[in-house]
Copies of this chain bind each other. A is one copy, B any other.
Amino acid sequence: MAIEGVVGSDVLGEALALIREEVDRHFDVLLPVPDDARARLFEAMRYAAIGGGKRLRPLLLTATAQMYGVNREAAVRTGCAVEAIHVYSLIHDDLPCMDDDAMRHGQPTVHLEYDEATAVLAGDALHALAFDILVSPQVTSDPFVRSELVACLAKGSGMDGMAGGQMMDIVAEEAGEGDDGFDLHTVTRLQQLKTGALLSASVEMGAILGRVPPEGRTHLKSYARDIGLAFQIADDLLDHEGDEELAGKALRKDADAGKATFVSLLGAERAREQAEMLVRQAIGHLSSYGEEAEVLRAIARYIVERDR
């Protein structure tokens, strides 16, 4: 996908490689396998949390935090809280009763590598771990910042955020593409909740760590809203046209299920144009920032250019 003025891709490549290594290192410390009957739970949590994924949420969080001079370790640790929520949602999403997926990040899903009960529990335990991380001294010693982080993450992941969006996604699948199918407005709302809310929380939590007051977060939240939607359109396009091996998961499931997506509703060409427009708009929201927002701008471009 061609976006004009692709600069800073080296900056982004380095930032992506660094955050991957940092998140893996933190999860390794956060999840020591105990010498008791809980070992299988911790092993399953490590299997899901370490080594895979783009780490887009921790990247957004640390890139935002960096703009405000936040301590790197604190930002990475907070990024792990958001990533723990993301990983738990993937484990539960892949379950037989949900999307019934066999592959994730190029390896068997947790319920196949372990078993379904362990997968449910590993997701639940990662969910609790996210909030446990936020109250650790490594994140902040300021109780006000801490409670703002908790509020932001709980809101972004719960019934008015990610979990609510996942419910809409299940209903959309049942509704199919016919007269009962979702229209563009409803699919947009669905995706704003399902993926947008947590991406948005990532950016906002970076700003919270940087002690940016709520009224100072407006442009950042607009940026996050636009890249969240662009991200989902790009995902629909990859699902439509992508390479399963590169993606490390099964593709074209939405079309097979007859589910309404941005591609089925707009067609591939208009969907692509829409994603590119959103990326330009997202970058526009950062116009009051200088060089310090270069990574956020590069992330916006990367979101529609990635091949997996």
Q: Which of A66-74, A121-129, A214-222, A224-232 lines the interface with chain B?
A: A121-129
Interface centre among A45, A89, A115, A167 (most CB of B within 10 A): A167
Given A170-B118, A171-B40, answer yes or no on A125-B92 (Cβ-Cβ < 8 Å): no
Given A132-B151, A159-B128, answer yes or no on A41-B120 (Cβ-Cβ < 8 Å): no
User: In whole Å, how far is A74's beta carbon from the nearest beta carbon of chain B?
Assistant: 15
CA distance A37 to B165 in the complex (A): 9
The binding surface of chain A is classed by DSSP as: helix
A158 at the interface (CB under 8 A from B): yes
A233 at the interface (CB under 8 A from B): no
1/0 per residue, CB under 8 A from B, across A173-217: the answer is 000000000100010011000000000000000000000000000
B37 touches A166 (CB 8 A): no
Interface centre among A128, A153, A157 (most CB of B within 10 A): A128
B158 touches A132 (CB 8 A): yes
B151 touches A41 (CB 8 A): no
A259 at the interface (CB under 8 A from B): no
A2 at the interface (CB under 8 A from B): no
User: In whole Å, how far is A134's beta carbon from the nearest beta carbon of chain B?
Assistant: 7
Q: Which residues of B sit under 8 angstroms from A143, Cβ to Cβ?
A: 143-144, 146-147
CA distance A127 to B115 in the complex (A): 22
A223 at the interface (CB under 8 A from B): no
A308 at the interface (CB under 8 A from B): no
A159 touches B125 (CB 8 A): yes
CA distance A232 to B41 in the complex (A): 22
Which listed residue (B116, B144, B151, B159) contacts A42, Cβ 8 A?
B159
Interface residues of A in 106-124 (CB under 8 A from B): 111, 115-118, 120-121, 123-124
A135 at the interface (CB under 8 A from B): yes
CA distance A172 to B36 in the complex (A): 11
A164 at the interface (CB under 8 A from B): yes
A131 at the interface (CB under 8 A from B): yes
A155 at the interface (CB under 8 A from B): yes
**Chain A interfacial positions (CB closer than 8 Å to B):** 31, 36-38, 40-42, 45, 88-89, 92, 95, 97-98, 111, 115-118, 120-121, 123-125, 127-129, 131-132, 134-135, 143-144, 146-147, 150-151, 153-155, 157-159, 161, 163-164, 166-168, 170-172, 182, 186, 189-190
Not counting A125-B164, A131-B153, A146-B150, a sample of 16 additional A-B residue pairs whose C-beta atoms are within 8 angstroms of each other reads A36-B189, A37-B168, A37-B186, A38-B159, A45-B159, A92-B124, A97-B120, A117-B170, A118-B170, A124-B127, A128-B157, A128-B159, A131-B150, A132-B151, A146-B147, A147-B150
26 sample A-B contacts, Cβ–Cβ < 8 Å, listed by A number: A36-B168, A36-B186, A36-B189, A37-B172, A37-B182, A37-B186, A38-B164, A41-B159, A41-B164, A45-B159, A98-B117, A98-B120, A118-B167, A121-B166, A123-B124, A127-B127, A127-B128, A128-B158, A128-B161, A128-B163, A129-B158, A131-B150, A131-B153, A132-B154, A143-B144, A146-B150
